Amino acid sequence: MGFMRRWGARGLVVLAVGGCARDEHAGSDPESVEPPEQAAHATRLEQRAPAPPLTAADSASILARLTARSDSIRAAFGRVSHLGAKEVSELRQDRNAEHVARARSLGVRVSSEAEVERLRQQGRLVALGDSTPYWVLRRMDHSSPYVTPETRETLIHLGRRFHARLDSLGLPRYRMKVTSVIRTDGSQAALRKINSYATRSVSAHEFGTTLDVSHERFAVPAGPLPGAGTGLMESPAAWGMEARMLEEVGKENAKALQAELGRAISELRGRGALLVMMENAQPVYHMTLARPSSER
């Protein structure tokens, strides 16, 4: 209902003139990277013959469908329990010294951006990827988006488990936002100057096996929800409005998404794949590869 009230008037205008709400959505969070899947979807639509202008009835139909969809998603979120005290405690058991020790044994320490590039060329580090079905990168001023191949593989496994949990609850496949990855000596030193919580000793982030994922902000799915890509709902304007709706609903229910991501992380931690620290000072899950996949 709230979605219809907020979008009823301006939504009709946007759709009637054929404005591309996708661009507005991409600009609503300056730290997120626009998913290439969304861009590709819009490009395919733009390459088609121009569609006739939407009528007022068309616009009203789209808004009605999006309102019903948002109400359904909110109802599904209402059935999700937030993290309990015991769950939070379990997500805070792995201390920093453990993260650093595992990172040293499983990763490759980097001292400069040139060394990051050399290790990348050797295949010992790989690009995390700006946007995948499971995560997007937020703007990073003090780290580079590279990890060891097994760390990326483990993050993919985590994304699949997170989505499986969302699927079982009838929720959209929201994606993680990765906020920090590998740091050099220099970037770690620069971070200490502006962040009093940054470690004064060796950081687990210096080895390509550790990354931070926000537990209070999540990215919308990589493309339209299943069943939305037909007829009027396939238009760029309709997907742009759907993305805005999903962003709004996701922000309202960040604690539920935090809980389901935390439970997916706990599953991998229980299998010996990850160490995790749910941080207090910064709203992130700080995660480190725990052991090679061959030993799990």
289, 151 contact by CB (below 8 A): yes
- CA-to-CA distance for 100 and 282, rounded, in angstroms? 19
- CA-to-CA distance for 247 and 22, rounded, in angstroms? 12
The per-residue pLDDT of the chain, averaged, comes to 80
Output the domain CATH number for residue 162: 3.30.1380
Task: Classify residue 108: in a domain, yes or no.
Answer: yes
Cβ burial of 168 (10 Å; 0-12, 13-18, 19+) is exposed
Q: Which domain holds residue 164?
A: 86-226+252-295
Beta-bridge partners for 135: 176
Q: What pLDDT, on a 0 to 100 scale, did the predictor assign at position 156?
A: 97
Task: Classify residue 51: in a domain, yes or no.
Answer: no
Q: What pLDDT, on a 0 to 100 scale, did the predictor assign at position 124?
A: 96
| Per-residue pLDDT band at 112 (split at 50, 70, 90) | confident
Task: Classify residue 222: in a domain, yes or no.
Answer: yes
pLDDT at 4 over 80: no
Q: What pLDDT, on a 0 to 100 scale, did the predictor assign at position 21?
A: 30
What's the total number of domains in the chain? 1
* Percent of the chain's residues with pLDDT above 90: 56
Task: Classify residue 56: in a domain, yes or no.
Answer: no
Token pair recorded at residue 167? 């699927």
Task: Classify residue 45: in a domain, yes or no.
Answer: no
Report strand pairing: 146-147 vs 274-278.
Answer: unpaired
User: Residues 114-161: pLDDT tens digits?
Assistant: 888 999 999 999 999 999 999 999 887 768 899 999 999 999 999 999
How many Cβ atoms are within 10 Å of 135's Cβ, its own excluded?
25
Q: What pLDDT, on a 0 to 100 scale, did the predictor assign at position 11?
A: 46
Task: Classify residue 74: in a domain, yes or no.
Answer: no
Task: Classify residue 30: in a domain, yes or no.
Answer: no
Beta-bridge partners for 78: none
Of 133, 126, 134, 129, residue with least CA distance to 150: 126
Token pair recorded at residue 17? 């003139």
175 or 235, which is more confident? Answer: 175
Task: Classify residue 69: in a domain, yes or no.
Answer: no
pLDDT at 264 over 50: yes
24 or 238, which is more confident? Answer: 238
Q: What predicted TM-score, i.e. pTM, was given to this entire model?
A: 0.80
- CA-to-CA distance for 186 and 13, rounded, in angstroms? 50
240, 64 contact by CB (below 8 A): no
